[in-house]
Structure 1
């Protein structure tokens, strides 16, 4: 146990209206519906419009949270946005969210840990609140991956979608959410998943992509399936818990087949896995929040449930955590 004094108290999400189905992809690249489902479990994704960006998705997710939250957001002290697809290099997406809602005297910062960004942001928010520095922090994960996807690359363009989710983290000493966490990073794996920026070389090698995502799916898959079950065992040991005490496993929804392999190796029944991959695709750091809210909307996830959240992605890096769901849902 880590002495947490923070609770997850509210949730909100948003996805764009436009859908990209497997049948749509059949008309774009050399692929077909059955092949995509067999290898990824994906059926469709949501895509931002030409004039819709990550900040817009984040703002809509916060609006949804506000509508569902019994309290006020006027006393939040910080906004942390997890994204790899910010509207601008700077200002941050968090500053754009702050400006829209007109909050004053708050901190605003973006965090980039790719698909692990949501769990990293929760870890930071928990630390800031537990330390006593803050009492109320809004964590948002938002991505418009469609804007950095190469739709001529048949191996990767089938994967990615857009969406956003928000979680409110509040000071709560009696019934905190955060139980324990694990983190690990393998920077040597950077060459397997990247998007070029100011540099176009890595360890002397020229990078490809011209600002679009490049992924060696096979290598990322191998890394995730090998390391995440080990991290799960470490989490359980730290928490002095058995896998049977976990109500729901909520990994980053990268690929349903990957999640099935992780569950098999970690001895987690696939029925306990909450995902968002089938109807939203891989939404990077937003995928865990979308999966959580889908379970809330379907009256599956209830207050007090024990969750094992696991974000993992480019870096290569991950953060896993065991939390008690603190949102009063139904």
Structure 2
């Protein structure tokens, strides 16, 4: 296991990174389980019983990750009351960028008019938003930024093998965003990041620029490969560990938490984490049934839905966590 990357609670008088606004965006097209059953050998019952997913959103032809991220960003900025000239940094968590370069963050920067600020992408697969949030938190804590736009956005439908029934039923497209602002009030308390590259072949896409594309195959051979049972076992164990680490670092017990906002990959993994925390499912934000697995988009999508529905209230203690290919995993504990 890698060395822990974390930041503990800020001493008195320090600046916190506080969520000032949230936003999200989903493509219009819905793909239901019944729709998939017409394409591959599956059924609504088979998918729901194993994953909890009923439907997912699919980007339109020509609609990019940057398009989804842009709309989520605008909504987060509106919620925060922030204009483009106030943004010091844009960080996009994604594993499906628009281009090899420039970064999707740079493309979004140009569209919102935040000229001159730092902009970068973070690729940590499904943990991308949590990783990006941690980077933004540290820039704010050290005083190098006061307002940071953090986005998680994906168009996973572009790298799904739609003939492979065990993977094509899982993934969807979407984006979520938050605006972090420097504040003397408590915000992000700590983040904790981990990775284990030795397990890469359990969940990966074995195509890249320097390793080569397979020109005789659709999409250059780019598609998601996953050994589901192995991923499930590792994810549950890793998330258990990072939950304990997060609570211990902040001197808290599991009963201090108001909400768990997990990566929306599989309902059974979410339920296992909730059980570990002794939390009833009515204190867990679940969107996997409606969104599927949107990778780095899933945590901010779930957060925005919970905020806009009124379930998450100011002052409540939230635990965000995610696990993804790499393997990567991480958590963020914050006072909303």
Does the residue aligned with 2:299 lie in a helix, a strand or coil? helix
TM-score if structure 1 supplies the norm length?
A: 0.93
**Counterpart for residue 161 of structure 2:** 150
TM-score if structure 2 supplies the norm length?
A: 0.91
Mapped to 1, the partners of 2:82 and 2:62 lie a distance apart of 32
**Counterpart for residue 47 of structure 1:** 58
User: In the alignment, which of 183, 186, 199 is matched to residue 193 of structure 2?
Assistant: 183
Does the residue aligned with 2:100 lie in a helix, a strand or coil? coil
Mapped to 1, the partners of 2:193 and 2:69 lie a distance apart of 26
Quote how far apart the aligned CAs of 1:127 are: 0.3
Conserved? CA contact 1:13–1:165, under 8 Å: yes
**Counterpart for residue 9 of structure 2:** 2
The answer as to 2:269 corresponding to 1:262 is no
Quote how far apart the aligned CAs of 1:215 are: 1.1
The answer as to 2:180 corresponding to 1:169 is yes
Unpaired segments of 5 or more residues in structure 1?
202-208, 326-330
Mapped to 2, the partners of 1:187 and 1:77 lie a distance apart of 32
Quote how far apart the aligned CAs of 1:212 are: 0.8
Deviations 1:6-35 (A, max 9, x none): 111111110000000001001010000011
Mapped to 2, the partners of 1:90 and 1:324 lie a distance apart of 35
Quote how far apart the aligned CAs of 1:199 are: 5.3
The answer as to 2:316 corresponding to 1:305 is yes
**Counterpart for residue 96 of structure 1:** 107
Q: Aligned ranges for residues 45-124 of structure 1 at < 5 Å?
A: 45-124=56-135
Does the residue aligned with 2:165 lie in a helix, a strand or coil? coil
Quote how far apart the aligned CAs of 1:176 are: 2.8
Moved more, 256-265 or 89-98: 256-265
Deviations 1:131-174 (A, max 9, x none): 0111111101110000110000000000000001110011112x
Q: Aligned ranges for residues 163-312 of structure 1 at < 5 Å?
A: 163-173=174-184, 175-195=185-205, 196-198=207-209, 210-312=221-323
Unpaired segments of 5 or more residues in structure 2?
1-7, 213-219
Conserved? CA contact 1:80–1:138, under 8 Å: yes
Conserved? CA contact 2:53–2:170, under 8 Å: yes
Mapped to 2, the partners of 1:324 and 1:177 lie a distance apart of 5
Question: Paired residues, what number?
Answer: 317
Conserved? CA contact 1:275–1:288, under 8 Å: no
**Counterpart for residue 135 of structure 1:** 146
Mapped to 2, the partners of 1:151 and 1:92 lie a distance apart of 27
**Counterpart for residue 328 of structure 1:** none
Conserved? CA contact 2:77–2:179, under 8 Å: no
Quote how far apart the aligned CAs of 1:200 are: 5.2
Does the residue aligned with 1:91 lie in a helix, a strand or coil? coil
Does the residue aligned with 1:156 lie in a helix, a strand or coil? helix
Quote how far apart the aligned CAs of 1:322 are: 1.0
Mapped to 2, the partners of 1:5 and 1:122 lie a distance apart of 13
Does the residue aligned with 1:170 lie in a helix, a strand or coil? strand
Mapped to 2, the partners of 1:301 and 1:121 lie a distance apart of 22
Conserved? CA contact 2:36–2:169, under 8 Å: yes
Conserved? CA contact 2:74–2:112, under 8 Å: no
Mapped to 2, the partners of 1:287 and 1:181 lie a distance apart of 18
